[in-house]
C-alpha cells in the first residue's frame, strides 16, 4: 500500500516512517510525489482539519492508496483552549513563531503560575481508498513558562515546560521529544488502530 504524507517537514516525516513503516510498502512526502496543494484548514477542531487535509491530498494523489495528515497546536487552559487550531497564526496571518510567542506571553502576563497549565494536541487522520478513515488525537501535558528556554524544536516549544523531564520541549533532544510528544502519542494510537484491523 502506497502512502502519501501530507507534509514536507523532515522531522515529522522521519517520525511517521519509523512508527508506521511496516504498514506501507512505500511512503512519500508531497514534494517527493510532485504534488503542490494548499488545503484551507477551516475546520473547528484539529480532527476536522487533519481529516480534510488527508482527504484532499488523497484526491490529488493518483497512484497512492492512502494519505496521512496531521493538525496540531497548543491549548492553554487559562485562555479557554487558545491558541488551539489557530496556533500557527495566533499573532495573525503570516506571522512567525517569535510573534506568536510574544503575543501568547502578553496574553498570559497576569495569569499566576499555578493556572498556567496547557497541552500540545496532535490529531492524525489516515484516509484510504475503499476504507473508513481513522482519526486519532494525542496530547502532551505541560506548563506555560514566562520566558523561553532551549534552542531546539520550533513554535511554542521554548515556552512549553514538560514536568516529567523537568525541561521545555526546546531543551529536549529530538529522540527525547519523539518519545513523549503529542505527535508520538497520536501515532501510537493510529498504530494501535491499524493493529486492531489486522486481528
Could you give the residue numbers annotated as active site?
A: 71
d(CA 87, CA 141): 16
The contacts of residue 72 (CB under 8 Å, 6+ apart) are 46, 87, 120, 121, 122, 123, 182, 183
Cell of 17: 516512517
Rg (CA), the chain: 17
Cell of 127: 484516509
d(CA 123, CA 45): 9
Nearest to 134 by CA among 37, 33, 54, 45: 54
Amino acid at each position: 500500500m502506497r502512502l502519501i504524507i501530507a507534509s514536507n517537514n523532515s522531522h515529522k516525516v522521519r517520525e511517521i516512517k519509523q512508527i508506521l513503516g511496516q504498514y506501507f510498502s512505500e511512503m512519500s512526502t508531497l514534494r517527493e510525489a510532485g504534488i503542490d496543494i494548499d488545503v484551507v484548514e477551516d475546520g473547528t477542531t484539529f480532527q476536522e482539519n487533519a481529516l480534510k487535509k488527508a482527504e484532499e491530498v488523497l484526491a490529488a494523489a493518483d497512484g497512492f492508496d492512502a494519505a496521512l495528515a496531521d493538525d496540531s497546536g497548543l491549548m492553554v487552559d487559562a485562555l479557554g483552549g487558545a491558541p488551539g487550531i489557530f496556533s500557527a497564526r495566533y499573532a495573525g496571518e503570516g506571522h512567525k513563531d517569535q510573534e506568536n510567542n510574544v503575543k501568547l506571553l502578553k496574553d498570559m502576563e497576569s495569569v499566576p503560575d499555578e493556572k498556567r497549565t496547557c497541552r500540545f494536541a496532535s490529531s492524525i487522520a489516515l484516509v484510504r481508498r475503499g476504507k473508513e478513515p481513522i482519526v486519532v488525537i494525542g496530547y502532551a501535558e505541560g506548563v506555560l513558562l514566562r520566558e523561553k528556554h532551549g534552542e531546539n524544536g520550533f513554535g511554542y516549544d521554548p515556552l512549553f515546560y514538560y514536568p516529567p523531564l523537568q525541561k521545555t520541549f526546546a531543551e529536549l533532544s529530538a529522540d527525547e521529544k519523539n518519545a513523549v510528544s503529542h505527535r508520538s502519542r497520536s501515532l501510537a494510537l493510529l498504530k494501535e488502530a491499524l493493529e486492531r484491523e489486522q486481528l
